[in-house]
Structure 1
């Protein structure tokens, strides 16, 4: 068994088209969006409120983060824990993060009761996730490498040998490259660069 921590996570690649679940004349539209911060969450919810301005409820749950998770569930006027938490339960069930799921409800005149609501919101969230393309990503650490132009070949040799992703680079008399390393390989790469004289490597803030 390796003692390495898991350094991958699952998320969705694109926003989904709405999936529709109907229950006793009520309509539940389920949406899934990839998000990495709360600003994006707000923007998506505002857009849906404009698009579905005559709906009754816009209930949602999101989870952001890979190692430290930040999540929220919102019932938006439905009975306590009858909407947000069933939606969040599906995020957990599909084991995804950096995701927002919104279920928009149009009330059809017949009350569903708390049990009916829980089931409807859960189903709409599940349908949204089933249509989403779920992908696995690695948790990466970003380093900034600073060096003089004369050391370019040494740096590029390590980057090539270790198959490192370059995020951005600035090549002048003094050069700066930002690289992304999968977390489990990060220490090894850091030490490889640190062992080269006249090269400065530090973790990106």
Structure 2
């Protein structure tokens, strides 16, 4: 799992084509639920618009499990698919887009619609600020109380965090760690603890 770009904030792009107003919204969406919430918010913002077409890549850029799109009443294949194609071509993950159309009375034809919806997303992507997302995985680690500060120091160095800590006879931790560096982190823990600190993946 490699690092990838994600939106650092939402952007809007607007244009008029043959009297129809097209407003493109792009926003961060880490997960399908967040994408759907964003789509609903845009619909609520524009209750009188004729169409609210949307697409999302709610996980890593090549995670086909978290893709979705809708033509929302436009002819099949003329809105959602070209919008999704732009998102997937950008290599940006955890992103959702909605294009709101206020119909201006002039038909654009299927080719015109594909161009309008695809181009709106393309232009919005050009102005989208992004940041690098490093995929994280969760691991369990059991440590003694004197070892905790050592573990915390290592987490700071590698960009990991403690998700949960249960304090008993020893400390049972659930850690979120960058997937790319697991072998390196495992090795460091082993070295600093003389082999007593061992990571195990959370099932």
Shorter-chain TM-score: what band?
0.7 to 0.9
Which of residues 28, 36, 42 is equivalent to 2:30?
Answer: 36
What is the correspondence of 1:131-170 to structure 2 with a 5 Å cutoff? 131-152=127-148, 155=151, 159=154, 163-168=157-162, 170=165
Q: Kindly state the Cα deviation for residue 184 of structure 1 after the two structures are TM-superposed.
A: 2.6
Q: Kindly state the Cα deviation for residue 93 of structure 1 after the two structures are TM-superposed.
A: 2.2
Q: Kindly state the Cα deviation for residue 153 of structure 1 after the two structures are TM-superposed.
A: 5.4
Q: Secondary structure at the match of 2:15?
A: strand
Partner of 1:115: 111
Contact 2:186–2:199, Cα closer than 8 Å, also in 1: yes
- For these two proteins, the number of residue pairs brought into alignment is 197
Distance 2:131 2:87 in 1: 14
Question: Following superposition, which runs of at least 4 residues in structure 1 exceed 4 angstroms of deviation?
Answer: none
Contact 2:160–2:178, Cα closer than 8 Å, also in 1: no
Distance 2:4 2:120 in 1: 23
CA deviation map 1:70-89 (0-9, x unaligned): 21121111011100011111
Q: Kindly state the Cα deviation for residue 137 of structure 1 after the two structures are TM-superposed.
A: 1.8
Distance 1:177 1:185 in 2: 18
Give the TM-score normalised by structure 1: 0.84
Q: Kindly state the Cα deviation for residue 139 of structure 1 after the two structures are TM-superposed.
A: 1.9
Partner of 2:8: 13
1:189 aligned onto 2:179: no
Q: Kindly state the Cα deviation for residue 127 of structure 1 after the two structures are TM-superposed.
A: 2.0
Q: Secondary structure at the match of 2:9?
A: coil
In structure 1, the gaps of 5 or more residues are 1-5
Residue 164 and residue 180 in structure 1: after superposition, are their counterparts in 2 closer, same or farther (change >3 A)? farther
Give the TM-score normalised by structure 2: 0.85
- Cα RMSD, aligned residues only: 2.4
Partner of 2:201: 203
Residue 155 and residue 92 in structure 1: after superposition, are their counterparts in 2 closer, same or farther (change >3 A)? closer
In structure 2, the gaps of 5 or more residues are none
Partner of 2:20: 26
